[in-house]
A and B are shown apart, each in its own frame.
Chain A
Amino acid sequence: MLSTLGCASGDPVTGAPAPLLDVEDLSISVRRGVPLVEGVSFSIGAGEAVAVVGESGCGKSLTSLAIMGLLPGNLQRNATGRILLEGEDLSAKSPREMQDVRGNRVAMIFQDPLTSLNPVMTIGAQIMEVLEAHRDIDRAAATARTIELLDLVRIPDPQERMHAYPHQLSGGMRQRVVIAMAMACEPQLIIADEPTTALDVTIQAQILNLLVELRRKSNLSLMLITHDLGVVCRVAERMIVMYAGSVVEAGEVSAILDGARHPYTAGLMAARPHGSFKRTGQRLVDIPGTVPPPTSRPKGCLFEPRCPRAQEKCRAVRPDLAADGAGHAFRCHFPIGQGEAHA
C-alpha cells in the first residue's frame, strides 16, 4: 500500500518499506473538550505523494503545522500523539532540535506567495539563509547553490534575479522562490499547504507541473494539502480525506475517486462543478449543513448531522477507521457500495 518508488530502507522481516513520516494518533485541542484535530494517523512513504483533502477548518493545516513543530504555543501544549520522521519522534524533540529538522529534513511551502516572503530582503538572501542555517558552507558556495536553485525552479536569469525583492516579482515567480527555498537543503519531505490556491489558473498548472517534476527528480516525499480534487489526481498517489478534525477516508487516489466509500467524500466529489458553460441555471451541488464547531462536536459520527445515510447507530456510536483489505480505509458504519440502501 505504500509507495513502490525507490525506498532505501525497509522492514527486514516483512520487506515492506518503512514509512518516512508516521503520524500516530495526533490530537490537538484548544483546551479540554474543544478538539481541533482528533486521533489523526497516517503515514507517508519515501518518495510518495499524499494529498490531504478537506474543507477549511477541518484540521489539515494544523496537522501540517504540528509536523513542522510550528503550532502556536497554546495548541502545542495540548497536542498529543506521536510524529515519527524515519522512526525519530519529532514531538519529543527540543525546540533547538526542531530547528535542525525544519527547512532541512522537512520543508514547507505556504499558500500565499505574496505574503510568505519577507518584503525587505532580496530573494537570494532569503534562500541563502536556509543554506547558511543548515549547511556549513561559505558565501560563494551558498551563492552558487542559490543560483542553481533558482534555475531549478525555472526562474529566468537567476544571477540577476537573486538580487530582486519580492515585490518586483509576480505571484507565480514568488511561489517558485518559495519552492526553491523549500528545496534548498534537499529535504526528504515537503509539505505544501495549498500551494496553488492564491494563483491564477494558468500559473497553478505551471507550479503543479514544477512540483511533480521536482518530486520525480529528487525522489522526495510530498504532503499536499488542498481542497482541489483536480490537483489531487494530478499530483498524488494516495489521499487522506479529513472532516471536522478526523480522517474519514484514506487510500489510493484512483480507488477513492472511482468509488468513495464515505458519504462525505462522495459529497465532496459531487460538489465539483463539472458542467460546461452552456448549462447555466443549473445549481451547484453542495453538502447541506455546516461543519460542527469544535465546541459542540456530536457524540456519534461527526458527519451524521449532514449525512443523507445517517441512521440511529450513527447518532450513538462514533465509527472507527476501518480498512477494506486493499488499503482503502473509511470511518463509516454504513459505507457506500456495501449493499446498504443508497441515498
Chain B
Amino acid sequence: MTAGSVRIGGGSRFFNGAVLRFVARRLLQALIVMLMVMTANFVLIKLAPGDIVDVLTGSSDMTAEQIASLRQEYGLDQPVIVQFVKYFARLAQFDLGYSNQFHDTVLNIILGRLPTTLLLVAFSVILSIVIGTVMGVAAARSAGKLVDSAISALVLLFYATPVFIVAIVMILCFSVWLGWLPTSGLYSVGAGHTGFAYIKDVAAHLVMPVVALCTFYTAIYSRLARATMLETMHLDFVRTARAKGLSERRVIYGHALRNALLPIVTMAGLQVSSLIGGAVLIETVFGLPGMGRTAFDAIFTRDTNLLLGVMFIASLAVVVVSLVVDFLYALLDPRVELK
C-alpha cells in the first residue's frame, strides 16, 4: 500500500458544506488580517523620516518650488490621512499603485520579480524538508549512537552558521577557486540561452542560493524530525506494524514517519511565509532580483508604493500558506476536521 491509496473513501472529507464554510470563514478572517497588516505597514512607513522626493532630489540642486511641485505631483503634500484613504481606495480595486523610482506599476515590478523568489523558495523548502527529514529519521533510528552524534554535530553547525557566511564561503569555493558556478544573477546575461540550455543556466545560478537558504532550515527540520520520530517510534502501532512482519523501511517511513509529519508541515508553512519577501540577504549576496531585494531597495528609496506592494504580497502569502497548511493537516491526519 502506498500512502496515497490510504485515502480511499476519504475524498468526501474535502468537498462538503462544512469545508466550504471553513474556507469562507478563513477568507473573511484573512481580509481583516490583511487590512490590519496594511494599515500597520502604512503607518510605519509614514513614521520613518524622509520620502521619495528627498531621495530623488537629494543629490540635485533643484529649487524649493520644483521640489514642492514634485511632492504635489506624487500626492505627498496631502495630509497623511488623505494619502491613507486614497491608498486603500486604490488597493480595494487591486491597484497597488505606481513606483516613481522604477517608473512602472508596482504590480508589473512585483510580477517580474516574484518568479525568482518562488523558484528560490520552492527549491529550498523542498530540499531542506527532504534532507532534514532524512537526517532526522536516521538520527532517531540510531539515537545515542555514532550516527546520531555525527548528525547532531552537523545539524548544530548548520544551525549556528549565519546564512551570509555560508553564501560567501560557497562563492569563494565554487566560483572563485573552482570556477564551477556563477557568482550572481539568475541567468548569464547576453548568453542568449534557450530551451534546455536556459534551464541549465538558471539551475547553475540557483544552486548556491538554494543551498545557502537550506542550511538553517535543514537543521530545524532535522531536529524536529528526530524529536517527533523518537516519540512516534515508541508508540504501540509501530510495534504492531513490526509484529505484522513489515519491512523495517515500511515500519519507519510508512507508519512512524507519517505520524510524525505534522510538526514538519507546520514548520514548512512558516519557512515559506518567511522566505517570500524575507530572503533579503541571500538575494543581495547572489544578486538575485527577488522580492526581498525589491523590498530592501524600496526602503532605501522611500518608495512607499513599492514597499507596501511587496508587503501586501508577502502577507497574502502568509494567509494562503496557513490555509494550505490547515488542508495538509486534514489530509495527513484523518482525525483533524476542517470546521
User: Which residues of A are at the interface with B, using a C-beta cutoff of 8 A?
Assistant: 68, 70, 95, 98-104, 107-108, 110, 112, 115-122, 124-125, 128-130, 132-134, 163, 165, 167, 178, 181
Contact = CB atoms under 8 A, between A and B. Distances in A.
B239 A70 contact: yes
B242 interface: yes
A129 B1 contact: yes
A133 B246 contact: yes
Interface string B310-334: 0000000000000000000000111
- A70, A107, A119, A124 — most chain B CB neighbours (10 Å): A119
Nearest to A121: B6
A101 B244 CA distance: 9
Summarize B's interface: helix, strand, loop or mixed.
Answer: helix
Interface in B15-37: none
Contact of B245 (A102, A117, A124, A163): A102
A133 B241 CA distance: 11
B241 A118 contact: yes
Nearest to B241: A118
Nearest to B236: A115
A99 B247 contact: yes
A163 to B, nearest CB: 3
B240 A110 contact: yes
A128 B250 CA distance: 14
Contacts of B259: 118-120
Nearest to B261: A120
Given A68-B243, A99-B247, A102-B242, A120 B6 contact: yes
Given A102-B244, A117-B237, A163-B8, 15 more contacts: A107-B243, A107-B244, A116-B239, A117-B240, A118-B258, A118-B259, A119-B237, A121-B6, A122-B9, A125-B5, A125-B6, A129-B246, A133-B244, A133-B250, A178-B240
19 contacts: A70-B239, A70-B242, A102-B242, A102-B245, A107-B244, A117-B240, A118-B241, A118-B258, A119-B259, A120-B259, A120-B333, A122-B6, A125-B5, A129-B1, A129-B244, A130-B244, A133-B244, A133-B247, A178-B240
Contacts of A102: 242-245
Interface of B: 1, 5-6, 8-10, 235-237, 239-248, 250, 254-255, 258-259, 332-335
Closest 5 CB pairs of A and B: A163-B9, A103-B245, A102-B245, A103-B244, A115-B236
A119 to B, nearest CB: 6
Contact of B335 (A119, A124, A134): A119
Contacts of A107: 243-244
A116 B234 CA distance: 11
Nearest to B243: A108
Contacts of B242: 70, 102
B329 to A, nearest CB: 11
Contacts of A167: 334-335
B270 to A, nearest CB: 22
Contacts of B10: 122, 163
Given A115-B235, A130-B245, A122 B8 contact: yes
A130 B251 CA distance: 12
Contacts of A124: 8
Contacts of A118: 237, 240-241, 255, 258-259
A103 B255 CA distance: 16
A112 B239 CA distance: 12
A267 B49 CA distance: 87
Nearest to B258: A120
B245 A133 contact: yes
Contact of B1 (A103, A119, A125): A125
A125 B8 CA distance: 9
B103 to A, nearest CB: 54
Contacts of B248: 95
Contact of A128 (B1, B247, B333): B1
Given A122-B9, A129-B1, A101 B245 contact: yes
